[in-house]
């Protein structure tokens, strides 16, 4: 019988998003691949420290039981296979049940999202995230300088989403960027009866909503919409969620206030936003990721040697 991941929430994650390989990556960027590989060989039995997305992965995997595997986490990395041994050893040492991994030794790995059917791709490599989003997969560039997740809610997966260009399309945001707040408010008032088009992270929210419906003793999911929208533009966001038959547990309509302090109170295991300013502000308080677009403001300059994922 063929094994399939079709009935699972699938998270693809790079080694640097799950574990702290920043020291090794700096060596890779400033020396050569052979020196990096030698260091990884020397450290094969040394477990890496927890990375920014570790808490999210650990809690999602807690939804698995001996009777049913509901979540699959797959390492998808530019690392070489030898370095992959250290990744799996680090996971085993941390009590993370990883079974699958793809290691491409420098080649872009995002194409493997298709056979995985991934609901989420988290990577410390910004260019890979951009390409994954272009392919239609929810993806975020993990800010490895983010604060670690709070340990205050061990039995609750907490995830916070921006609205426009994340859960919803960037239709309204384009109006705001091009014409300003007054035009944005007018646009939203005129379209108040029309749901917003789907954004790149709607599939992830849908998958989380399905997981929320399953009773797993000792675990639950709590979601939050954290948006710069304010009244009256809040109506269309809520009506869109209602049209999807999906509810979020909390909604914050901040009208341009900094999101960081509010996220600090919510204490998410991860926060997704498309604006680098919001992500940097949030990263001082919580694990954060940038939902990149192809806009000039977010495309990184080219590098001689791409960073590891």
Task: List, for residues 91-115, the tens digit of each pLDDT value.
Answer: 999 999 999 999 999 899 999 999 9
As a residue count, the chain comes to 309
The pLDDT value recorded for residue 8 is 94
- The reply to whether the predicted model has a pTM over 0.85 is yes
**Are 293 and 170 a contacting pair, CB within 8 Å?**
yes
Which CATH superfamily does the domain covering 156-286 fall into?
Answer: HAD superfamily/HAD-like (3.40.50.1000)
Rounded to an integer, the average pLDDT of 215-241 is 92
Domains 9-142 and 156-286 share a fold: yes
pLDDT given for residue 37 in this prediction: 82
Q: Is the pLDDT of residue 309 over 60?
A: no
Domain positions in the chain are 9-142, 156-286
- For the cut 60, the answer to whether the pLDDT of residue 172 exceeds it is yes
Q: Which of 71, 96, 97, 53 is nearest to 211 (CA)?
A: 71
More reliable by pLDDT, 181 or 99: 99
Average pLDDT over the chain, rounded to an integer: 89
Alpha-carbon distance of 143 to 233, in angstroms, equals 29
pLDDT band at 302 (very low <50, low <70, confident <90, very high): very low
Catalytic residue among 162, 164, 170, 273: 162
- Is-catalytic flag, 190? no
Q: Which CATH number fits domain 9-142: 1.10.3860, 2.60.40, 3.40.50, 3.30.450?
A: 3.40.50
Residue 162 above 50 pLDDT? yes
Q: Determine the pLDDT at residue 146.
A: 98
What pLDDT shows up at residue 1? 66
The per-residue pLDDT for range 32-55, each reduced to its tens digit, is 778 888 888 899 999 999 999 999
């Amino acid at each position: 019988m063929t094994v399939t991941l079709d009935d699972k929430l699938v998270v693809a994650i790079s080694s640097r998003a799950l574990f702290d390989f920043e020291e090794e990556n700096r060596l890779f960027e400033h020396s050569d691949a052979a020196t990096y590989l030698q260091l990884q060989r020397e450290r094969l039995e040394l477990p890496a420290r927890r990375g920014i997305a570790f808490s999210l992965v650990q809690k999602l995997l807690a939804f698995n039981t001996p009777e049913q595997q509901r979540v699959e986490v797959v390492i998808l990395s530019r690392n070489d296979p030898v370095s992959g041994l250290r990744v799996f050893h680090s996971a085993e040492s941390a009590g993370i049940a990883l079974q699958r991994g793809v290691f491409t030794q420098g080649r872009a790995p995002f194409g493997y999202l298709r056979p995985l059917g991934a609901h989420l791709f988290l990577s410390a490599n910004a260019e890979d995230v951009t390409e994954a989003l272009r392919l239609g997969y929810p993806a975020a560039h993990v800010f490895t300088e983010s604060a670690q997740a709070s340990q205050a809610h061990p039995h609750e997966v907490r995830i916070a989403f921006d609205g426009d260009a994340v859960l919803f399309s960037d239709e309204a945001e384009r109006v705001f960027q091009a014409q300003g707040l007054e035009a944005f408010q007018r646009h939203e008032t005129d379209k108040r009866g029309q749901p917003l088009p789907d954004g790149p992270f709607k599939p992830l929210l849908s998958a989380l909503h399905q997981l929320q419906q399953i009773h797993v003793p000792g675990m639950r999911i709590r979601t939050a919409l954290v948006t710069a929208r304010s009244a009256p533009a809040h109506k269309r966001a809520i009506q869109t969620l209602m049209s999807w038959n999906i509810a979020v547990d909390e909604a914050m309509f901040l009208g341009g206030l900094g999101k960081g302090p509010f996220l600090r109170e919510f204490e998410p295991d991860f926060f997704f936003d498309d604006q680098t300013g919001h992500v940097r502000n949030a990263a001082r308080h919580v694990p954060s990721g940038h939902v990149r677009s192809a806009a000039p403001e977010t495309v990184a300059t080219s590098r001689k040697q791409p960073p590891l994922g």
